[in-house]
Structure 1
Amino acid sequence: MEQRVAALVDFYRRVQTERMQGVPILNLALSVEAVGFRRAETPEDAPEPEHEPVAEGVLITPWFMSLVRLPLALQPHGNRVARKFVRDFGSEGFEFIGAHDDAVGYHETCALFSPMDGFATQAQAVETALASLALVRPELAKEVVKASEPVPARRAFFMARRNGPGATP
């Protein structure tokens, strides 16, 4: 799992240096970082390709923060790029969109923040990523240190995303 997550981080670092230079939404106070990735429990009766083991966590970049589902084995795009899927992530369901790069293979993302101009430091972005994960992984709630400044708007945004557009609470 560590190698797959490292490949994901390396890919987005390359995107930052090769494609994002000079793009106004790039927050130069931030860097690419994977937060809280762990192997997700997959139901045995899940349809293919959902039964494949995945790592789940938050990816922070200087231009977005997203929940990510990364298959533990390199996978082809399988005509899933840009397609939307509702997936369980922790205790909630979220709408993910398929992505692919030859270096990383197929993976799925669910945007939390974009652009990242509301974050002054990397530590603040990591703290927000951990707080977001704690909302869907109750076992993390005890481990997350309370933010030094309140972020109710961010939490409200995150919770509104949980079942995708048009979902009812």
Structure 2
Amino acid sequence: MHSREAIEAYYRAVGTRMAGLPVYNPALAVELLGWRAVEGVGALGVLITPWCMNLFWQPPAEAELPTKGERAVLSLPSGDYECTLHEDESLGRYASASLCSPMQDFPDQAGARAMAEEVLRLVFAESEPPQPAQLTRRALFRRALGGAS
């Protein structure tokens, strides 16, 4: 698993080429939030850049995945996320799912960070099992007597 610092450094270098483009928001900086190892999945976090916000996934080295440019599904308890696979000399194999692009709706880093933290909260949330319908005593008797519930 690459370090948060290594991934951020890579994207800061990419940012030097992006800086003149209209999609670049100079009020934002590269920041990888929530970067953590997830058992059986690899590592995962939300990457903020001045031009996009992505779910950033580094699958385990032994994972069998399609080739660069193809799509792969990241399955978590909160749901399935379709990601595009990338391969780079510095970062190796990784995948991303676009969350926002361009980033012009974010006036500052704090706003982008708040969005990224909410995404992390939702992505890492455990799905809750369906709750059984609340059965009142009256409904129970109706059902027992063959009536509608």
After TM superposition, the structure 1 = structure 2 runs for residues 1-169 of structure 1, keeping only pairs within 5 Å, are 1=1, 3-17=2-16, 19-42=17-40, 54-71=42-59, 80-138=67-125
Conserved 8 A contact 2:70-2:84? yes
CA distance in 2, matches of 1:89, 1:57: 13
CA distance in 2, matches of 1:57, 1:22: 27
Conserved 8 A contact 1:56-1:89? no
Q: Post-superposition shift, 1:136? A: 2.2
- Unmatched tracts of structure 1, length 5 or more: 43-52, 140-169
CA distance in 2, matches of 1:16, 1:82: 21
- Unmatched tracts of structure 2, length 5 or more: 127-149
Does the C-alpha gap of structure 1 residues 14 and 37 become closer, same or farther in structure 2, counting only changes over 3 Å?
A: same
CA distance in 2, matches of 1:7, 1:70: 13
CA distance in 1, matches of 2:51, 2:6: 19
- Matched residue SS, 2:24: coil
CA distance in 1, matches of 2:116, 2:73: 20
TM-score, normalising length: structure 2: 0.75
Kindly provide the amino acid, as one letter, of the partner of residue 22 in structure 1.
Answer: G
Kindly provide the amino acid, as one letter, of the partner of residue 21 in structure 1.
Answer: A
Q: Post-superposition shift, 1:86? A: 1.4
Could you list the per-position Cα deviations for residues 13-39 of structure 1 after superposition, in whole angstroms to 9, with x for gaps in the alignment?
A: 00001x212101100000000001111
Sequence identity, in percent? 39
Aligned residues: 124
TM-score, normalising length: structure 1: 0.67
- Matched residue SS, 1:138: coil
Q: Which structure: larger Rg?
A: 2
Q: Which runs of 4+ in 1 moved over 4 A?
A: none
Q: Post-superposition shift, 1:79? A: 6.5
Conserved 8 A contact 1:58-1:67? yes
- Matched residue SS, 2:3: helix
CA distance in 2, matches of 1:92, 1:40: 14
